[in-house]
Amino acid sequence: MRSRHRRITAAALAAVAVLGLPACSTVLGEQESLADATSLTVGVKTDQPGLGLEDENGDITGFDVDVALYIADRLGVSAEDVEFTGVTSANREQKLIEGDVDMVVATYSITPARKTQVTFGGPYYVAKQDVLVRAEDSGIRGVHDLEGLRVCQGEGSNSAARITEGLGISVRKTEAPSYSACIEDLREGRVDAVSTDNLILAGFLAEDPSSFHLVDEPFTDEKYGVGLPRGDIRGCEAVNDAISRMYQSGRAGELLDTWFGEAELKLVKSVPQFEGCV
């Protein structure tokens, strides 16, 4: 599913969504689906340790990368035919809609609003939102202690809204281009806390355990979905089959241990409850 195929897919599936036709219907004479891919371009984060991090050689590694490679293999696409490209929380939907990527595996929490723009496979993991603070800030022991404090979120994220709107806790929200930028703001004292998924925070904590402290009082479920062009139901079902196999075979547990085994987290290694391909 390189450039021409991706462009047709995005346009065709958009037409399917508008017309209300089944996603596997023939559009413009072609049946377009991720399930038929012979190559893939996958959007991943490139600045999140343990999930998707690009090194000085341009290689991207992490849990999300390995999950994408596993799914690709189950779809019959070899690792050599998978191209990874960086995405951010702010541009994931647009990358799929415009056909720049075939699939997004990038700590992409499934939400009702996002479901109106893309189709989600999975979730492939259910993380928990938590709070990261500076090591010396022992007074912050839970999300309610953030009242009135400066809390950073990455652009395009919903994490602060889950605190203010979801829990009714008034915080001074700041926004940075990415969570790596939020971590730098926390390090330099420009914000008091960073709140997002515990896997993301654990990755940054592992990079610099002497500077930060994970509060470890989770307060939401964050369902990491595999983003697909809207309307690709057959592709979504194929992705879900792959995720099920990944957990049932024990591979998901191995990957979680590889990337987060040293973190003080309760890693969930059972098959997540799928959202359904709609």
Instruction: Pick the closest to residue 109 from 61, 177, 66, 157 (CA basis).
Output: 157
pLDDT at position 24 is 39
Distance in angstroms (rounded) separating the CA atoms of residues 163 and 147: 10
Pick from 57-61, 112-116, 156-160, 223-227: least confident = 156-160
Burial of 15 (0-12, 13-18, 19+ CB in 10 A): middle
45 in helix, strand or coil? coil
Cα maximum dimension of the chain? 63
Residue-wise pLDDT tens digits, 80-93: 999 999 999 889 99
Q: 255 is written with which tokens?
A: 């990957």
**Average pLDDT, rounded, for the chain:** 88
b/e sequence 244-275, b meaning 16+ C-beta within 10 Å: eebbeeeebbebbeebbeebebebeeeebebb
pLDDT at position 1 is 53
Residue-wise pLDDT tens digits, 14-58: 444 444 444 433 343 355 899 999 999 999 999 999 999 999 999
Asked if 255 and 62 touch (Cβ cutoff 8 Å), the reply is no
Fold for 3-126+223-260, please state it. Answer: D-Maltodextrin-Binding Protein; domain 2 (3.40.190)
What are the boundaries of each domain within the chain? 3-126+223-260, 131-221
Distance in angstroms (rounded) separating the CA atoms of residues 199 and 159: 14
Same fold flag, 3-126+223-260 and 131-221: yes
Asked if 236 and 121 touch (Cβ cutoff 8 Å), the reply is yes
Q: How many residues does the chain have?
A: 278
Asked if 164 and 239 touch (Cβ cutoff 8 Å), the reply is no
Q: What is the mean pLDDT of residues 103-115?
A: 95
Distance in angstroms (rounded) separating the CA atoms of residues 181 and 226: 24
The answer, yes or no, to whether residue 8 has pLDDT greater than 80, is no
Asked if 150 and 240 touch (Cβ cutoff 8 Å), the reply is no
Instruction: Pick the closest to residue 232 from 278, 169, 171, 173 (CA basis).
Output: 278
Residue-wise pLDDT tens digits, 205-256: 998 999 999 998 999 899 999 999 999 999 999 999 999 999 999 999 999 9
Chain position carrying tokens 């090591």: 135
Task: Please count the other Cβ atoms lying within 10 Å of the Cβ belonging to residue 236.
Answer: 27
The answer, yes or no, to whether residue 153 has pLDDT greater than 70, is yes
Distance in angstroms (rounded) separating the CA atoms of residues 183 and 223: 22
pLDDT at position 128 is 93
The answer, yes or no, to whether residue 12 has pLDDT greater than 50, is no
Asked if 103 and 77 touch (Cβ cutoff 8 Å), the reply is no
Distance in angstroms (rounded) separating the CA atoms of residues 44 and 192: 28
Fold for 131-221, please state it. Answer: D-Maltodextrin-Binding Protein; domain 2 (3.40.190)
Distance in angstroms (rounded) separating the CA atoms of residues 112 and 96: 17
Full-model pTM: 0.84
Q: What percent of the chain has pLDDT over 70?
A: 89
